[in-house]
Structure 1
Amino acid sequence: MNHAPGPTLAVEQELVIRSIDRETQALLASVLGGFLEIDLQFAPVLDGFTGGHVITHLSREADRMADALLEATGLPVPPLDGERQWEVDPGGLRPAAVLIEDFVESSSRLKAAMAGVHDWSSLAHGVREVPARRLIQLVVHHADLQRSWESVSHEEAAVAVSRLSSVFAAEMSDLLFVVRPDQPLISSAREDGRTVLTGDARALLAWASGRLAQISSGSAADLPPRDRRVWF
């Protein structure tokens, strides 16, 4: 998706931010309703990492993104909160209530920082893509926390897929994603030197993150291989 300066970019960002709000609340509801303390602290969900590690990763990313936006817009960046802002390895072992409080606080910080941006087009590319990157993080890691890909909103998945090549330009610049809700199986073809991937947005995002095995619809046999990326 091209990002022209002015109102068009502002509208696009608002769509992404609304999707972030919905995905944040959905993940929080899943954690509150589907995980016991022992699940978060001891049950591996992602390459040996627990749900607590995944939630801590999302919390620290939200804090880092909030700080980047504050710095880019000339606002003061608060000092590190040593009591709350634990890194992934030790932080994943904290009690569930502490993990959830951390996630809520960091998500609120990021929401406020995004609301404080008055001109997205004035920001550097990496900072401008903070909302899209956050949405991708939330959808992908919510799947790691055992939400089925089939239950992901088509709208949220499509918005995330539309920004993949921009957020991860270094590794996906030769890919073109074409969303077809009526095509559950992903197909691929070569066009103008790029690989064109066509299919359901949820399957496309699962493939891009190396998690296609988690989705029941599968893919066509000619799909290029994709290693799983642990953290987004």
Structure 2
Amino acid sequence: MRFLLFLTLLIPLPAKAEPSAGLRPAQYERPESGLVDPKGAPLPRLDPFAEANEAAPEDPEAGDDPDVFLYGEERRQKELDDLFETLAKAPNAVIGKRVAGAIQEKWNESGSATIDYLLEKARGAMRNNQHDAAMDLIGEALVLNSQYAEAWNLRATLHFLRGDMQKSMADIQHTLALEPRHFGALTGMAAILQSAGRDAEALAVYDRALEVFPTLESAKEQAERLRKAVDNQTL
């Protein structure tokens, strides 16, 4: 059940879906050089707290309604900013999930009908365990737009399903570089770190996810459990 919950946050959700998170329990080695996946390959050390690009300066000629001058991707980002502000202030988990679902809908808007089609076909292939076909479809989408965070996020999920934690973490890094507030990618990273025995780092990433999505119950539960474990280790 925890494995399924974890995947729902990594896989972009359909419209009106409500994301959740969890953990896939596993035991990994803990080498000095970094994480390793089940195949023994080292995983990259990642920075989940990369700063987003600086916002463009306001247009002094914009008048009383700056939104009038926002088109395409800029307008989408403005709408996402407003939704994230609402998410951070959500009074309870029910409202938080609704806002998170609206954010996921925005993330699923690539701005390209072709990319949307490719990724929808990729999700269908993943549901049918056609992983090679899904990888090809996602690859085509990334060729068309390498700056689309949700394509990287979907490929991270696919690598995870195939058991390649190294590549999954690398694609999570791409996702967070493009969208540092991606709570699905953050909880996915935290779950892999926790499975690798890096409890303190996993706790830091869960805390970051909770800054973005304070009412995410599964992340709160994992963070609380990890906090106790980390405190016990320092005694």
- Tell me the TM-score normalised to structure 2 length: 0.30
- Tell me the TM-score normalised to structure 1 length: 0.30
- Which of the pair is proportionally richer in helix? 2
Higher RCO by CA contacts (8 Å cutoff, separation 6 or greater): 2
- Which of the pair is proportionally richer in strand? 1
